[in-house]
């Protein structure tokens, strides 16, 4: 079975030192937490995930879910593990205390999510989708709807899903056909078929609340005619007790590449009774509350699975002996040296390590922006934080899952042929995390959202706000010789980002198709650059700790070496990516359909 050690020390570094969250007492509720409380919670999650969830990851992958007599049965052990999860209160961490939640900041909650997805991504998806359903109802539901559903969703006694996709309507939700008609007393009858529904049916909870996009009879065409409905698997009586089964079912289980332990269903709604969430024809707005929550969660999946893959590759590289180091024998006591001495193995491992730690810092920052948007008493500052979080959502979802998948492949490569064999667990990590590049909006869609809505939508204003933050960081540290290895990489990447941005700004008005053609390399440039920003901030923090005479000298020295590797290995890639934006984008728009033929 694969091993896993929760990166608790790195969580402390990000929360306590890099983001300094315990000094942010102006944010609502932050004065009620301290480092000891956060450490205790994250330690508890670490214990649960390593002792309960991790042992079920491999067996759940082999067994998968089963559809028996119209009901889905999760893999052996999942139901018991989920009961422990609920009983321990892990479902409630970041939810509203009014409905039984603990009210913790998102910047703490994301690291609990990382540990869950690292140890058992398929299992973690059941409560993950539930939290998204909670967020949508909490933000857009009526008071009656909140009272009816939120307490049970917060506790985890009931779970939730998100029903968007239809066989003919994936990214383009304007094409969806599921219908809703009034059924009296404020209720609606929902009819249609949805596919690819994660956690669509299972035996972990007594009820499932499906959030379903559908069209009312008077709905206008396109996305402006979509409404959102809460459709329970089991009807809920006025007193909160469960009544009769609703007229919906899991018609089939999808046959998938990975995440076998999660029930990905084809869902049929046959005049199933539901209630409107928010206003008629405003469903996409409400659903995007859930989707933005989910996109952060998917980015965390990219990090979590990359982290556990790295840890196992590192352990294998230290233990596996093959050949001798090129500069001579490193371990005369053995017949060969550990493969960790070989340069290319080191390259793959450090590429993973530097990505993981940089991505973790960015995810912490993204979650803090979301906390500021929700909790800051100054409306202007809350709005500014929300804009930054919106700008970097495609990076968290798209860039981190792209590079997280690549990191998992590198980890598998460290194992050589053994990485291809099921028993080692590496091929499962690769299969499981592949979905993160596809669902909640493919990464190509994320890149297009970045350049189309986020960059061009406000004419680069939010990007400029962040760019000024980068320039300030550089200016504050230019006189420090110890910072030069880190500042050089950040400045180089920033220049490439600026040039790529200018190219799109100048050429897209003349040829809008250039945005789509250049969007993916542009997203990679911004992703590499924002991680360079986080690594530069990390280097400032680590140097300050060393200068103060810390007792944890080895940790900070490793942090600086990893930062230096990131700057020397990752930031040099932005130049070639910029050239892709500038050189190939227009050519792609000029090709005829016949040019793609064999």
Catalytic residue annotation: 440
Q: Which of 41, 37, 61, 51 is nearest to 5 (CA)?
A: 51
Identify the H or E element spanning 267. strand 264-277
Packing angle of the helix pair 513-547, 573-590 (nearest 10 deg): 170
Q: How far apart are CA 568 and CA 539, in angstroms?
A: 14
Q: How far apart are CA 481 and CA 490, in angstroms?
A: 15
Q: Residues 232, 209: contact at Cβ < 8 Å?
A: yes
Q: How far apart are CA 313 and CA 427, in angstroms?
A: 12
Count each helix (H run) and each strand (E run) in the chain, helices first.
18, 11
Q: How far apart are CA 361 and CA 532, in angstroms?
A: 11
Q: Residues 57, 65: contact at Cβ < 8 Å?
A: no
Q: Residues 99, 114: contact at Cβ < 8 Å?
A: no
Q: Residues 69, 255: contact at Cβ < 8 Å?
A: no
With 0-12 CB in 10 A as exposed, 13-18 as middle and 19+ as buried, what is 330? middle
Read off the DSSP letter of residue 216: -
Q: How far apart are CA 64 and CA 78, in angstroms?
A: 11
Read off the DSSP letter of residue 243: E
End-to-end CA distance of the chain: 45
Q: Residues 267, 200: contact at Cβ < 8 Å?
A: yes
Q: How far apart are CA 383 and CA 376, in angstroms?
A: 9
Identify the H or E element spanning 232. strand 227-232
Q: Could you give the residue ranges of the DSSP H alpha helices within 121-222? A: 121-140, 143-155
Q: Residues 421, 473: contact at Cβ < 8 Å?
A: no
Q: Are strands 207-214 and 158-163 parallel, antiparallel or unpaired?
A: parallel
């Amino acid at each position: 079975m694969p091993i896993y050690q929760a990166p608790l020390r790195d969580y402390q570094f990000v929360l306590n030192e890099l983001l300094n969250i315990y000094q942010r007492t102006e944010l609502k509720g932050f004065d009620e937490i301290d480092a000891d409380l956060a450490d205790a919670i994250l330690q508890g999650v670490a214990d649960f995930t390593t002792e309960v969830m991790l042992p079920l990851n491999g067996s759940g992958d082999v067994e998968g879910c089963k559809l028996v007599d119209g009901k889905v049965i999760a893999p052996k052990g999942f139901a018991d593990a989920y009961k422990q999860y609920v009983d321990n209160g892990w479902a409630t961490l970041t939810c509203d205390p009014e409905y039984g939640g603990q009210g913790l900041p998102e910047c703490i909650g994301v690291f609990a999510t990382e540990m869950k997805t690292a140890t058992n991504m398929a299992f973690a998806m059941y409560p993950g989708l539930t939290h998204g359903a909670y967020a949508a109802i909490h933000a857009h539901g009526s008071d009656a709807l909140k009272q009816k559903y939120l307490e049970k969703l917060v506790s985890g006694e009931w779970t939730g899903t998100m029903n968007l996709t239809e066989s003919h309507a994936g990214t383009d939700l304007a094409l969806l056909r599921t219908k809703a008609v009034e059924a009296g007393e404020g209720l609606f009858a929902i009819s249609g078929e949805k596919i690819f529904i994660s956690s669509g049916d299972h035996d972990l909870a007594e009820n499932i609340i499906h959030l379903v996009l559908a069209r009312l009879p008077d709905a206008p065409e396109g996305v402006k005619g979509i409404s959102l409905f809460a459709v329970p698997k089991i009807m809920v009586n006025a007193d909160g007790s469960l009544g009769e089964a609703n007229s919906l079912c899991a018609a089939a289980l999808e046959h998938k590449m990975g995440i076998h332990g999660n029930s990905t269903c084809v869902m049929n709604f046959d005049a199933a009774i539901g209630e409107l969430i928010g206003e008629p024809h405003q469903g996409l707005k409400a659903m995007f509350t859930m989707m933005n929550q989910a996109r952060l969660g998917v980015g965390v999946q990219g990090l979590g699975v990359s982290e556990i893959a790295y840890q196992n590759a590192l352990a294998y590289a230290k233990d596996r002996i093959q050949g001798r180091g090129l500069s001579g024998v490193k371990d005369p006591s053995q017949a060969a040296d550990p493969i960790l001495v070989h340069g290319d193995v080191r390259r793959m491992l450090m590429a993973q390590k530097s990505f993981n730690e940089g991505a973790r810092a960015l995810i912490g920052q993204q979650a803090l922006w979301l906390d500021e948007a929700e909790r800051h008493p100054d409306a202007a500052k809350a709005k500014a934080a929300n804009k930054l979080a919106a700008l970097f959502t495609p990076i968290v979802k798209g860039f981190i899952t792209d590079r997280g998948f690549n990191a998992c492949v590198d980890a598998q490569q460290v194992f050589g042929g053994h990485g291809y064999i099921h028993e080692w667990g590496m091929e499962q990590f690769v299969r499981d995390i592949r979905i993160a590049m596809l669902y909640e909006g493919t990464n190509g869609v994320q890149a297009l959202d970045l350049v189309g809505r986020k960059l061009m939508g406000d004419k680069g204003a939010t990007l400029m706000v962040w760019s000024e933050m980068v320039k300030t960081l550089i200016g504050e540290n230019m006189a420090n010789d110890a910072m030069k290895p880190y500042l050089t990489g950040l400045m180089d990447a920033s220049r490439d980002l600026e040039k790529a941005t200018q190219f799109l700004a100048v050429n897209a008005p003349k040829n809008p198709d250039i945005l789509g053609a250049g969007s993916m390399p542009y997203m990679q440039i911004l992703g590499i650059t924002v991680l360079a920003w986080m690594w530069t901030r990390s280097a400032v923090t680590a140097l300050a700790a060393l200068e103060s005479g810390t007792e944890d000298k080895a940790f900070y020295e490793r942090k600086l070496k990893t930062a230096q590797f990131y700057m020397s290995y990752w930031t040099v890639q932005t130049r070639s990516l910029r050239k892709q934006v500038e050189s190939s984008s227009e050519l792609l728009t000029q090709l005829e359909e016949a040019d793609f033929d064999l």
